[in-house]
Amino acid sequence: MKFSIIYEAQMADPSRESEARCFQEIVEQVMLAEEVGFDNVWAVEHTALTQYAHMSAPETFLAFIAGKTSRIGIGHGVVCLPPAMNHPVKVAERIATLDILSNGRVHFGMGKGGTQQEAGTFGYDLAELQPMIDESMYLIPKILKDGHVEHDGQYVKIPSRPIHPSPLQDPHPPIYYACTREATLQLAGDRGIGALVLGFSGPEEIARKNAIYREHFKNRKAEDQVGFRPNEHLAAFCAACVLDDREEARRIGLRGQRFFAEAIAYWYQGGAKPSIEDLSAEEQQAALDKDKARTVAYLSEEHIPVGDEHTSNYTVAQDAYGNADDCIRYCTRLQEAGADEVLFLFQMGTIPHSAIMETIKNIGEKVIPHFRAKAAALAAE
Protein backbone atom coordinates (compact mmCIF):
# COMPACT_ATOMS: atom_id res chain seq x y z
CA MET A 1 0.00 0.00 0.00
CA LYS A 2 1.25 3.47 -0.90
CA PHE A 3 1.19 6.49 1.42
CA SER A 4 0.63 9.91 -0.11
CA ILE A 5 -0.47 13.48 0.66
CA ILE A 6 -3.11 15.45 -1.22
CA TYR A 7 -3.30 19.25 -1.08
CA GLU A 8 -6.17 21.70 -1.52
CA ALA A 9 -4.22 24.77 -0.31
CA GLN A 10 -7.04 25.37 2.15
CA MET A 11 -6.91 28.28 4.58
CA ALA A 12 -9.01 30.03 7.19
CA ASP A 13 -7.44 33.39 6.37
CA PRO A 14 -7.66 34.03 2.59
CA SER A 15 -5.48 37.14 2.67
CA ARG A 16 -2.58 37.66 0.25
CA GLU A 17 -0.07 37.13 3.07
CA SER A 18 -1.77 33.95 4.22
CA GLU A 19 -1.82 32.52 0.68
CA ALA A 20 1.91 33.09 0.28
CA ARG A 21 2.64 31.55 3.68
CA CYS A 22 0.40 28.55 2.96
CA PHE A 23 2.20 27.64 -0.26
CA GLN A 24 5.65 28.05 1.27
CA GLU A 25 4.61 25.81 4.17
CA ILE A 26 3.28 23.18 1.75
CA VAL A 27 6.66 23.09 -0.01
CA GLU A 28 8.39 22.53 3.34
CA GLN A 29 5.93 19.76 4.16
CA VAL A 30 6.49 17.97 0.86
CA MET A 31 10.26 18.16 1.26
CA LEU A 32 9.94 16.43 4.63
CA ALA A 33 7.48 13.89 3.18
CA GLU A 34 10.00 12.84 0.53
CA GLU A 35 12.73 12.57 3.15
CA VAL A 36 10.71 10.26 5.42
CA GLY A 37 9.38 7.93 2.73
CA PHE A 38 6.00 9.10 1.41
CA ASP A 39 5.23 7.78 -2.08
CA ASN A 40 3.34 10.59 -3.83
CA VAL A 41 2.17 14.17 -3.49
CA TRP A 42 -1.13 15.02 -5.19
CA ALA A 43 -2.66 18.41 -5.95
CA VAL A 44 -6.33 19.17 -6.68
CA GLU A 45 -7.51 21.81 -9.15
CA HIS A 46 -10.20 24.25 -8.03
CA THR A 47 -11.05 27.78 -9.15
CA ALA A 48 -12.89 30.56 -7.27
CA LEU A 49 -13.51 28.58 -4.05
CA THR A 50 -12.25 30.99 -1.39
CA GLN A 51 -10.99 29.28 1.79
CA TYR A 52 -11.93 25.79 0.58
CA ALA A 53 -9.20 25.49 -2.08
CA HIS A 54 -6.64 27.96 -3.37
CA MET A 55 -4.87 25.27 -5.44
CA SER A 56 -5.92 26.75 -8.78
CA ALA A 57 -2.72 26.14 -10.78
CA PRO A 58 -1.56 22.63 -9.85
CA GLU A 59 0.59 22.37 -12.98
CA THR A 60 2.75 25.23 -11.65
CA PHE A 61 2.80 23.90 -8.10
CA LEU A 62 3.70 20.35 -9.14
CA ALA A 63 6.41 21.53 -11.54
CA PHE A 64 7.99 23.49 -8.69
CA ILE A 65 7.74 20.45 -6.39
CA ALA A 66 9.25 18.20 -9.06
CA GLY A 67 12.25 20.51 -9.28
CA LYS A 68 12.70 20.53 -5.50
CA THR A 69 12.50 16.72 -5.11
CA SER A 70 14.05 13.64 -6.69
CA ARG A 71 11.95 10.60 -5.74
CA ILE A 72 8.39 11.36 -4.64
CA GLY A 73 5.62 10.82 -7.21
CA ILE A 74 3.96 13.90 -8.74
CA GLY A 75 0.16 13.54 -8.93
CA HIS A 76 -2.54 15.61 -10.60
CA GLY A 77 -5.60 14.84 -8.52
CA VAL A 78 -7.09 16.01 -10.82
CA VAL A 79 -6.83 18.13 -13.99
CA CYS A 80 -10.29 19.54 -14.72
CA LEU A 81 -11.12 18.94 -18.39
CA PRO A 82 -13.72 21.52 -19.52
CA PRO A 83 -12.03 22.66 -22.77
CA ALA A 84 -12.12 26.40 -21.98
CA MET A 85 -10.48 25.65 -18.64
CA ASN A 86 -7.89 23.15 -19.88
CA HIS A 87 -7.75 22.51 -23.61
CA PRO A 88 -6.74 18.88 -24.32
CA VAL A 89 -3.68 19.87 -26.36
CA LYS A 90 -2.37 22.08 -23.56
CA VAL A 91 -3.04 19.36 -20.99
CA ALA A 92 -1.07 16.84 -23.06
CA GLU A 93 1.82 19.28 -23.52
CA ARG A 94 1.99 20.11 -19.80
CA ILE A 95 1.71 16.48 -18.64
CA ALA A 96 4.44 15.34 -21.04
CA THR A 97 6.78 18.18 -20.08
CA LEU A 98 6.28 17.55 -16.37
CA ASP A 99 6.87 13.84 -16.87
CA ILE A 100 10.18 14.50 -18.61
CA LEU A 101 11.40 17.04 -16.07
CA SER A 102 10.37 14.84 -13.11
CA ASN A 103 12.11 11.83 -14.65
CA GLY A 104 8.90 9.87 -15.13
CA ARG A 105 7.21 10.53 -11.79
CA VAL A 106 3.84 11.85 -13.02
CA HIS A 107 0.44 10.39 -12.10
CA PHE A 108 -2.32 11.87 -14.26
CA GLY A 109 -5.79 12.24 -12.75
CA MET A 110 -8.74 13.69 -14.67
CA GLY A 111 -12.15 15.06 -13.68
CA LYS A 112 -14.70 17.79 -14.29
CA GLY A 113 -14.73 19.91 -11.11
CA GLY A 114 -17.49 19.87 -8.55
CA THR A 115 -19.35 23.18 -8.41
CA GLN A 116 -21.31 25.57 -10.59
CA GLN A 117 -19.13 28.28 -9.06
CA GLU A 118 -16.17 26.79 -10.94
CA ALA A 119 -17.98 25.74 -14.12
CA GLY A 120 -19.59 29.16 -14.44
CA THR A 121 -16.21 30.87 -14.25
CA PHE A 122 -15.47 29.40 -17.67
CA GLY A 123 -18.96 29.85 -19.09
CA TYR A 124 -20.32 26.34 -18.49
CA ASP A 125 -23.32 24.73 -16.84
CA LEU A 126 -22.00 22.03 -14.49
CA ALA A 127 -24.82 19.66 -15.44
CA GLU A 128 -23.75 19.74 -19.10
CA LEU A 129 -20.03 19.06 -18.64
CA GLN A 130 -19.77 15.26 -18.65
CA PRO A 131 -19.85 14.72 -22.46
CA MET A 132 -17.06 17.30 -22.85
CA ILE A 133 -15.00 15.59 -20.16
CA ASP A 134 -15.49 12.23 -21.85
CA GLU A 135 -14.30 13.60 -25.20
CA SER A 136 -11.13 15.08 -23.73
CA MET A 137 -10.52 12.03 -21.54
CA TYR A 138 -10.25 9.75 -24.55
CA LEU A 139 -8.37 12.28 -26.68
CA ILE A 140 -5.51 13.29 -24.35
CA PRO A 141 -3.91 9.81 -23.98
CA LYS A 142 -3.94 9.45 -27.78
CA ILE A 143 -2.06 12.73 -28.12
CA LEU A 144 0.46 11.60 -25.49
CA LYS A 145 0.98 8.27 -27.25
CA ASP A 146 1.07 9.45 -30.87
CA GLY A 147 2.65 12.91 -30.63
CA HIS A 148 0.05 14.03 -33.11
CA VAL A 149 -3.60 15.08 -33.16
CA GLU A 150 -6.37 15.49 -35.68
CA HIS A 151 -9.80 15.62 -34.12
CA ASP A 152 -13.25 16.70 -35.25
CA GLY A 153 -15.35 16.18 -32.15
CA GLN A 154 -18.55 17.61 -30.82
CA TYR A 155 -16.83 19.93 -28.34
CA VAL A 156 -13.22 20.03 -29.53
CA LYS A 157 -12.02 20.49 -33.10
CA ILE A 158 -8.28 20.37 -33.85
CA PRO A 159 -6.68 20.35 -37.31
CA SER A 160 -3.82 17.97 -38.03
CA ARG A 161 -0.88 19.03 -35.85
CA PRO A 162 2.27 17.53 -34.33
CA ILE A 163 2.22 17.90 -30.53
CA HIS A 164 5.44 18.05 -28.51
CA PRO A 165 6.98 16.82 -26.31
CA SER A 166 6.10 13.17 -25.67
CA PRO A 167 6.14 11.95 -22.06
CA LEU A 168 9.02 9.93 -20.65
CA GLN A 169 6.63 7.19 -19.52
CA ASP A 170 5.65 5.20 -22.59
CA PRO A 171 2.92 5.41 -23.82
CA HIS A 172 1.83 7.84 -21.07
CA PRO A 173 1.73 8.22 -17.26
CA PRO A 174 -0.82 6.14 -15.31
CA ILE A 175 -4.33 7.61 -15.52
CA TYR A 176 -6.90 8.12 -12.76
CA TYR A 177 -10.38 9.57 -12.33
CA ALA A 178 -11.84 11.60 -9.45
CA CYS A 179 -14.53 9.45 -7.80
CA THR A 180 -17.07 10.83 -5.33
CA ARG A 181 -20.20 8.93 -6.36
CA GLU A 182 -20.99 5.34 -7.25
CA ALA A 183 -21.44 6.30 -10.90
CA THR A 184 -17.91 7.69 -11.12
CA LEU A 185 -16.47 4.54 -9.53
CA GLN A 186 -18.26 2.52 -12.18
CA LEU A 187 -16.92 4.84 -14.87
CA ALA A 188 -13.32 4.47 -13.65
CA GLY A 189 -13.64 0.70 -13.56
CA ASP A 190 -15.38 0.47 -16.95
CA ARG A 191 -12.67 2.62 -18.53
CA GLY A 192 -9.76 0.74 -16.96
CA ILE A 193 -8.26 3.64 -14.98
CA GLY A 194 -7.44 4.28 -11.34
CA ALA A 195 -10.03 5.56 -8.85
CA LEU A 196 -9.20 8.49 -6.57
CA VAL A 197 -11.91 8.23 -3.90
CA LEU A 198 -12.07 11.85 -2.76
CA GLY A 199 -14.28 11.82 0.33
CA PHE A 200 -14.06 11.13 4.06
CA SER A 201 -15.46 7.60 3.65
CA GLY A 202 -14.61 5.20 6.47
CA PRO A 203 -13.22 1.68 5.92
CA GLU A 204 -16.67 0.11 5.61
CA GLU A 205 -17.68 2.54 2.86
CA ILE A 206 -14.29 2.15 1.17
CA ALA A 207 -14.83 -1.63 1.12
CA ARG A 208 -18.21 -1.14 -0.57
CA LYS A 209 -16.76 1.28 -3.12
CA ASN A 210 -13.80 -0.99 -3.72
CA ALA A 211 -16.11 -3.89 -4.57
CA ILE A 212 -17.98 -1.72 -7.11
CA TYR A 213 -14.77 -0.50 -8.70
CA ARG A 214 -13.11 -3.95 -8.91
CA GLU A 215 -16.21 -5.55 -10.42
CA HIS A 216 -16.44 -2.93 -13.14
CA PHE A 217 -12.71 -3.03 -13.82
CA LYS A 218 -12.81 -6.82 -14.15
CA ASN A 219 -15.74 -6.71 -16.60
CA ARG A 220 -14.64 -3.70 -18.65
CA LYS A 221 -14.78 -3.82 -22.45
CA ALA A 222 -11.72 -3.19 -24.60
CA GLU A 223 -13.49 -0.47 -26.57
CA ASP A 224 -14.18 1.50 -23.36
CA GLN A 225 -10.54 1.59 -22.23
CA VAL A 226 -9.21 5.11 -21.68
CA GLY A 227 -5.60 5.33 -22.76
CA PHE A 228 -3.20 2.51 -23.49
CA ARG A 229 -2.09 1.57 -19.99
CA PRO A 230 -4.79 -0.09 -17.84
CA ASN A 231 -4.41 0.98 -14.23
CA GLU A 232 -6.26 -0.99 -11.53
CA HIS A 233 -5.71 1.16 -8.47
CA LEU A 234 -7.98 2.52 -5.72
CA ALA A 235 -6.73 5.40 -3.58
CA ALA A 236 -8.67 6.26 -0.41
CA PHE A 237 -8.90 9.77 1.01
CA CYS A 238 -7.98 10.00 4.71
CA ALA A 239 -7.95 13.18 6.79
CA ALA A 240 -5.41 12.71 9.59
CA CYS A 241 -3.56 14.41 12.41
CA VAL A 242 -0.96 12.17 14.06
CA LEU A 243 0.71 13.61 17.14
CA ASP A 244 2.42 12.12 20.18
CA ASP A 245 -0.39 13.69 22.24
CA ARG A 246 -3.43 11.81 20.96
CA GLU A 247 -5.97 14.08 22.66
CA GLU A 248 -4.39 17.15 21.11
CA ALA A 249 -4.41 15.39 17.73
CA ARG A 250 -8.10 14.67 18.09
CA ARG A 251 -8.92 18.26 19.05
CA ILE A 252 -6.89 19.76 16.20
CA GLY A 253 -8.00 17.16 13.66
CA LEU A 254 -11.70 17.51 14.36
CA ARG A 255 -11.44 21.29 14.22
CA GLY A 256 -9.80 20.97 10.80
CA GLN A 257 -12.37 18.50 9.53
CA ARG A 258 -15.20 20.76 10.63
CA PHE A 259 -13.63 23.65 8.73
CA PHE A 260 -13.21 21.46 5.64
CA ALA A 261 -16.81 20.20 5.76
CA GLU A 262 -18.30 23.65 6.30
CA ALA A 263 -16.08 25.28 3.64
CA ILE A 264 -17.21 22.81 1.00
CA ALA A 265 -20.85 23.06 2.13
CA TYR A 266 -20.64 26.84 1.68
CA TRP A 267 -19.80 26.45 -2.02
CA TYR A 268 -21.71 23.26 -2.79
CA GLN A 269 -24.90 23.82 -0.80
CA GLY A 270 -25.03 27.51 0.08
CA GLY A 271 -24.24 26.92 3.75
CA ALA A 272 -22.68 29.33 6.22
CA LYS A 273 -19.01 30.27 6.02
CA PRO A 274 -16.75 27.80 7.87
CA SER A 275 -16.16 28.13 11.58
CA ILE A 276 -12.73 28.60 13.14
CA GLU A 277 -13.94 28.04 16.72
CA ASP A 278 -11.31 26.42 18.94
CA LEU A 279 -13.53 23.99 20.84
CA SER A 280 -12.90 20.69 22.57
CA ALA A 281 -12.87 17.49 20.52
CA GLU A 282 -16.28 16.54 21.88
CA GLU A 283 -17.76 19.93 20.97
CA GLN A 284 -16.32 19.76 17.44
CA GLN A 285 -17.75 16.25 17.06
CA ALA A 286 -21.17 17.52 18.14
CA ALA A 287 -20.93 20.38 15.62
CA LEU A 288 -20.09 17.91 12.82
CA ASP A 289 -23.07 15.76 13.78
CA LYS A 290 -25.32 18.83 13.73
CA ASP A 291 -23.95 19.89 10.31
CA LYS A 292 -24.57 16.39 8.97
CA ALA A 293 -28.20 16.48 10.12
CA ARG A 294 -28.61 19.91 8.53
CA THR A 295 -27.19 18.63 5.23
CA VAL A 296 -29.52 15.63 5.20
CA ALA A 297 -32.48 17.93 5.85
CA TYR A 298 -31.41 20.27 3.03
CA LEU A 299 -31.07 17.41 0.54
CA SER A 300 -34.43 16.00 1.55
CA GLU A 301 -36.08 19.37 0.99
CA GLU A 302 -34.48 19.55 -2.47
CA HIS A 303 -35.60 15.97 -3.22
CA ILE A 304 -32.00 14.87 -3.71
CA PRO A 305 -31.21 11.26 -2.69
CA VAL A 306 -28.81 11.31 0.25
CA GLY A 307 -25.59 9.42 -0.48
CA ASP A 308 -22.16 9.00 1.06
CA GLU A 309 -20.88 11.70 -1.30
CA HIS A 310 -23.06 14.18 0.63
CA THR A 311 -22.43 13.04 4.20
CA SER A 312 -18.91 11.55 4.25
CA ASN A 313 -17.26 14.87 5.13
CA TYR A 314 -18.95 14.63 8.53
CA THR A 315 -17.78 11.03 9.13
CA VAL A 316 -15.10 11.03 11.80
CA ALA A 317 -12.24 8.56 11.40
CA GLN A 318 -11.59 8.09 15.11
CA ASP A 319 -8.14 6.51 14.78
CA ALA A 320 -6.92 8.91 12.08
CA TYR A 321 -6.76 11.62 14.74
CA GLY A 322 -4.44 10.22 17.36
CA ASN A 323 -0.92 8.82 17.76
CA ALA A 324 1.10 6.62 15.43
CA ASP A 325 -0.39 3.40 16.81
CA ASP A 326 -3.89 4.75 16.17
CA CYS A 327 -2.90 5.64 12.60
CA ILE A 328 -1.47 2.16 11.99
CA ARG A 329 -4.73 0.64 13.18
CA TYR A 330 -6.81 2.84 10.89
CA CYS A 331 -4.58 2.36 7.83
CA THR A 332 -4.72 -1.39 8.38
CA ARG A 333 -8.50 -1.19 8.13
CA LEU A 334 -8.22 0.81 4.89
CA GLN A 335 -5.81 -1.77 3.49
CA GLU A 336 -8.15 -4.60 4.43
CA ALA A 337 -10.98 -2.66 2.74
CA GLY A 338 -9.04 -2.79 -0.54
CA ALA A 339 -7.17 0.52 -0.70
CA ASP A 340 -3.99 0.48 -2.77
CA GLU A 341 -3.03 3.96 -1.59
CA VAL A 342 -3.90 6.27 1.29
CA LEU A 343 -4.42 9.90 0.25
CA PHE A 344 -3.70 11.69 3.50
CA LEU A 345 -5.21 15.14 3.90
CA PHE A 346 -3.34 17.07 6.60
CA GLN A 347 -3.68 20.63 5.38
CA MET A 348 -7.23 21.51 6.43
CA GLY A 349 -7.96 25.19 7.02
CA THR A 350 -7.25 25.48 10.74
CA ILE A 351 -4.48 22.86 11.12
CA PRO A 352 -1.21 24.61 12.11
CA HIS A 353 1.94 23.98 10.09
CA SER A 354 3.73 22.60 13.15
CA ALA A 355 1.07 19.91 13.63
CA ILE A 356 1.29 18.94 9.94
CA MET A 357 5.07 18.63 10.15
CA GLU A 358 4.80 16.45 13.26
CA THR A 359 2.16 14.35 11.54
CA ILE A 360 4.36 13.79 8.48
CA LYS A 361 7.32 12.90 10.70
CA ASN A 362 5.30 10.43 12.78
CA ILE A 363 3.80 8.70 9.75
CA GLY A 364 7.14 8.58 7.95
CA GLU A 365 9.11 7.27 10.91
CA LYS A 366 6.53 4.96 12.53
CA VAL A 367 3.55 4.18 10.28
CA ILE A 368 5.12 3.66 6.86
CA PRO A 369 7.96 1.44 8.20
CA HIS A 370 5.34 -0.78 9.89
CA PHE A 371 3.62 -1.47 6.57
CA ARG A 372 6.88 -1.80 4.64
CA ALA A 373 8.09 -4.41 7.13
CA LYS A 374 4.78 -6.27 6.92
CA ALA A 375 4.97 -6.29 3.11
CA ALA A 376 8.54 -7.53 3.19
CA ALA A 377 7.60 -10.35 5.59
CA LEU A 378 4.74 -11.42 3.34
CA ALA A 379 7.03 -11.35 0.31
CA ALA A 380 9.59 -13.49 2.14
CA GLU A 381 6.92 -16.07 3.00
Q: Which long-range contacts (CB under 8 A, 24 or more apart) does 123-126 make?
A: 123/84, 124/82, 124/84
pLDDT value of position 296: 53
Domain, as residue range, for 106:
2-247+317-380
Looking at residue 248, its pLDDT comes to 95
304 assigned to some structural domain = no
Inside any domain, residue 104: yes
pLDDT of residue 364: 98
Tally the domains of the chain.
1
Q: What is the pLDDT of residue 316?
A: 61
Establish if 60 belongs to a structural domain. yes
Phi, psi of 150 (to 5 degrees): -150, 115
Say if 150 falls within a structural domain.
yes
Q: List average pLDDT for each run of 10 residues in the chain, which is 381 residues long.
A: 98 97 98 98 98 98 98 98 98 98 98 94 97 98 98 98 98 97 96 94 93 98 98 96 95 92 87 86 80 58 52 64 95 97 96 98 98 95 89
Q: What is the pLDDT of residue 314?
A: 60
With respect to residue 309, please indicate whether it lies within any of the assigned structural domains: no
Task: Say if 310 falls within a structural domain.
Answer: no
Task: Give the angle subtended at the CA of 327 by the CAs of 357 and 114, to the nearest 5°.
Answer: 75
User: For residue 338, what is the domain's CATH number?
Assistant: 3.20.20.30
pLDDT at 279: 83
What per-residue confidence (pLDDT) applies to 323? 96
Residue count of the chain = 381
The pLDDT of residue 302: 46
In a domain, 284, yes or no: no
Q: Is residue 269 part of a domain?
A: no
Instruction: Identify the pLDDT of residue 199.
Output: 82
Provide the CB-side half-sphere exposure for 183 (13 A, CA).
3
What per-residue confidence (pLDDT) applies to 4? 98
pLDDT value of position 309: 59
